[in-house]
Amino acid sequence: MRMQPGSPPGAGGRLRDAVGTNKLEDTVNDLVSLVKPGGWIQLVEMEWNGWNVGLEGRIFHNAIRGLFSIVSVGQGVDVREKVTPMLKEAGLQNSDYKIITTPFCMTTKMLPPINVSREQLDMMPQKLIEAKKDGWEFKIFSLWAQKPEN
C-alpha cells in the first residue's frame, strides 16, 4: 500500500491490530513503507512488564497476555524489544521510546478463558472491581523513529 500525494508525512498505529497472521517483520516493513522521507512513524503498544495490579490483576494481566499471544500466532507480545531493531534495519533513524504508566480502568465485560481456570474467570469480575480500589496501574510504550530525507 503506497501513500497518495498530499497524504500525511507519517504513519502510526497499533501493531496488535496489524500483525494478526502476518509476520511482525513484514508488518513493520509495510508500515515503514507508508512513511514519506523525513516523516515519522509512531507505535503505541502494551508494555507487559512492571504492571502494578496486585494478585487479582496479575490473573487478569496473564489472561490478556495469553489472548494477545494467540492472536499474534505465537509471535509474542513483547514487541518493543523486537520492533526497535527492525526500525533501524529498515533504515529509520532518531528512534526512541517512552514507557508510560497509566491508571487501570475496566468494565465488567470479560475475556474468554485464556490461561485462566474457569473458576478464576467466573470470580474475576467482582474480584477485579474490589481489588482495583488499590490504584492499579498498567504500562504502555510509545516508540517513534524518523525516515531519512534521502
Residue-wise pLDDT tens digits, 97-118:
999 888 766 544 544 545 666 6
Name the more confident of 42 and 135: 42
Q: Is the pTM of this model over 0.75?
A: no
- Say whether pLDDT at 128 is over 60: yes
Q: What is the tens place of the pLDDT at every residue in 29-73?
A: 888 888 899 999 888 888 888 888 888 788 888 888 887 777 676
Assign 96 a pLDDT band (cuts: 50, 70, 90). Answer: very high
- One DSSP character per residue, 49-110 reads EEEE-HHHHHHHHHHHHHHHHHHTTTS-S-HHHHHHHHHHHTT-EEEEEEEEEEE----S--
Give the separation between CA 57 and CA 54, rounded to whole angstroms. 5
